[in-house]
Amino acid sequence: MTQGTTSQDTFETTQELERTVAETMWSIRPTDVSWDSLVYVHNQIGGLGSSITKIFHQGAVIDRRSIVKEVAFTVDDLREAMYKPGKGSWLSMTLTVTPAGNGWEADYNYTEKPVWELGEPVNDTYAQELYLFPRDEEHIPDWFKEEMKGATWTPDSD
């Protein structure tokens, strides 16, 4: 299970981990075409995660790029650092950088159902999420409860 940290620790850790993701995105930015933003999208529920970097120009996706595997570990650390006891951790995030290269903007979703591009998680995945990042009943969204119906996963079943 995950333990919460102090606000200052969380802020500093979050900034450091976001910077790692942003710098990795910057390293794969296009140099041969115009672009307006790079948007890293990551969804995670239990042990299932997916991520992609989308490259936008004039509001349209012009390319998609995978990001190095090491960022997956960084994102795992980010979820852990941002865990809120009783409220869980985020389920999806976006991190955006622009061609100016002068920073990034991150957005975290703790309550809305993520949009999965490559298939939905199974019900046991939701049970894993609650084991890894426990939530009090009032912080489990209704859609999450629906998705988890019929789950049989326990920590001993892996």
Q: CA distances (Å), 50 to each of 30, 57, 87, 93, 128, in order?
A: 22, 23, 22, 11, 16
Task: Look up the pTM and report it.
Answer: 0.89
What is the domain partition of the chain in residue ranges? Answer: 7-157
**CATH number assigned to the domain covering 7-157:** 3.30.500.20
Note the pLDDT tens digit of each residue in 34-91. 999 999 999 999 999 999 999 999 999 999 998 888 898 999 999 999 999 999 999 9
Return the structure tokens found at 151.
Answer: 């789950």
What's the rounded Cα separation, in Å, for the pair 72 and 62? 23
Length of the chain: 158
What's the rounded Cα separation, in Å, for the pair 101 and 117? 28
Shortest CA distance to 66 belongs to which of 54, 79, 78, 49? 54
Contact 115, 94 (CB under 8 A): no
Note the pLDDT tens digit of each residue in 12-37. 999 999 999 999 999 999 999 999 99
Alpha-carbon Rg for the chain, nearest whole angstrom, is 17
